[in-house]
Copies of this chain bind each other. A is one copy, B any other.
């Protein structure tokens, strides 16, 4: 049997996928049955790293998604449009979809999966989260028997590269960002990465799979890493933490049913935690469930080859299913229950004020005796109990005080900070970070 692929986009990931599909020996034998029928590009004149027959390349992307010979449309354009429209048109033409596009799935997943379920086609997206790391399919297939309690990930390679470099070399965010841009690890406009938008897309997708309900992307709480300073990194190290941008989805037993935390923010991670040693552009996703306990998936979060591995493995999963049910009449097929995504409901995202977590905060205060006592009294009156208080040094004529709290309701902690910021002895509160 031959299965025809229509590829939308021939950038980094598209090129990687074509290279893999053209170089089949030593890989799964099912690859022999895949044919690249059309590849949609913006320009026919650009020099390409892969050589494809001239008639395969086209600038007419609409023609690919409606081509009756195409079985599977692979969308690696990125961005919201025309990706969304093309995916929906392909679905309406009965094509199965493989996509690496976290943004379009995180924002339009509802519309896309509803259309796919009506058309009885699959939409697979392993490459959208964690690059090459198998995590979407294991969540659907291997971990689905668990009650998932939490998904905690380092899912953005750019910010992990920057934070790792800041830790290793005691350098400022802006310097390291400039380096990352020179090395190609960060975009010229780094907003999507450093402000946490990319990580928010990814945790929305992971939360949806882990907790069986759709997530409204604007409800995902998001803080980026621009405000992480060298001082914070140094204090974190002293306190046996490293600072990582974590994407977290968690269901607390104390929450009303089906309420989730879904949040992205820089976090102090204990040095002994499995995520603490995930460095550079690597990604890792830690999943906690009952009865499995903790499992972690680690690997390259980006890159042409790794992402292509995920894209082509999705193609293979679809083809394997199509082969299995080739004998069933086409009108009477049951979609594979571990490949489909059939959530109808939305998860309710809990307000951040209800989050219970530890906090790290750094204060600049007058260098008077008794300031720590005033802070402590103020925290205590809001029910905030402190794990450690360190007067760490002097900056100019101000004293620098760092506190780490015990678990506290975020709303209570914010109230205490509001009151503290009005104290005459307190100059400013340069950093507030959550602690894992």
Q: Which residues of A contact B (CB under 8 A)?
A: 16, 19-20, 26-28, 30-31, 126, 132-134, 137-138, 141-147, 274, 277, 289-300, 303-306, 308-310, 312-313, 316-317, 320-321, 323-329, 332-338
Q: Are B300 and A292 in contact (CB under 8 A)?
A: yes
Report A234 CB to chain B, min CB distance, Å.
21
Report A141 CB to chain B, min CB distance, Å.
6
Q: Are A27 and B337 in contact (CB under 8 A)?
A: no
Report A17 CB to chain B, min CB distance, Å.
10
With contact pairs A16-B291, A327-B333, A332-B327 given, residues A27 and B297 touching in the complex (Cβ less than 8 Å): no
Q: Are B325 and A338 in contact (CB under 8 A)?
A: no
Q: Are B143 and A313 in contact (CB under 8 A)?
A: yes
Residues of chain B contacted by A126 (CB below 8 angstroms) = 142
17 CB contacts below 8 A, A to B, read A20-B291, A27-B146, A132-B291, A133-B295, A141-B313, A141-B316, A142-B310, A144-B313, A291-B308, A292-B305, A295-B300, A296-B299, A297-B298, A298-B298, A326-B334, A327-B332, A327-B334
With contact pairs A26-B147, A145-B312 given, residues A134 and B295 touching in the complex (Cβ less than 8 Å): yes
Complex Cα distance A147/B137, Å?
Answer: 20
Complex Cα distance A298/B298, Å?
Answer: 8
Q: Are B337 and A30 in contact (CB under 8 A)?
A: yes
Complex Cα distance A289/B337, Å?
Answer: 29
Residues of chain B contacted by A324 (CB below 8 angstroms) = 321, 324-325, 333-337
Complex Cα distance A238/B282, Å?
Answer: 28
Report A316 CB to chain B, min CB distance, Å.
6
Q: Are A325 and B325 in contact (CB under 8 A)?
A: yes
Residues of chain B contacted by A144 (CB below 8 angstroms) = 27-28, 30, 313, 316
Choose from B312, B321, B334 the contact partner of A336 (Cβ within 8 Å): B321
Q: Are B20 and A145 in contact (CB under 8 A)?
A: yes
Q: Are B145 and A309 in contact (CB under 8 A)?
A: yes
Q: Are A320 and B305 in contact (CB under 8 A)?
A: no
Complex Cα distance A293/B333, Å?
Answer: 37
CB-based nearest B residue for A327: B328
Residues of chain B contacted by A299 (CB below 8 angstroms) = 292-296
Complex Cα distance A334/B317, Å?
Answer: 15
With contact pairs A142-B134, A142-B137 given, residues A316 and B304 touching in the complex (Cβ less than 8 Å): no
**Additional pairs, 20, CB under 8 Å, beyond known A27-B144, A291-B308, A297-B298:** A28-B144, A30-B337, A30-B338, A132-B291, A132-B293, A132-B295, A134-B143, A134-B295, A137-B138, A138-B142, A145-B313, A146-B309, A290-B305, A293-B303, A296-B297, A320-B337, A321-B324, A324-B337, A327-B332, A327-B333
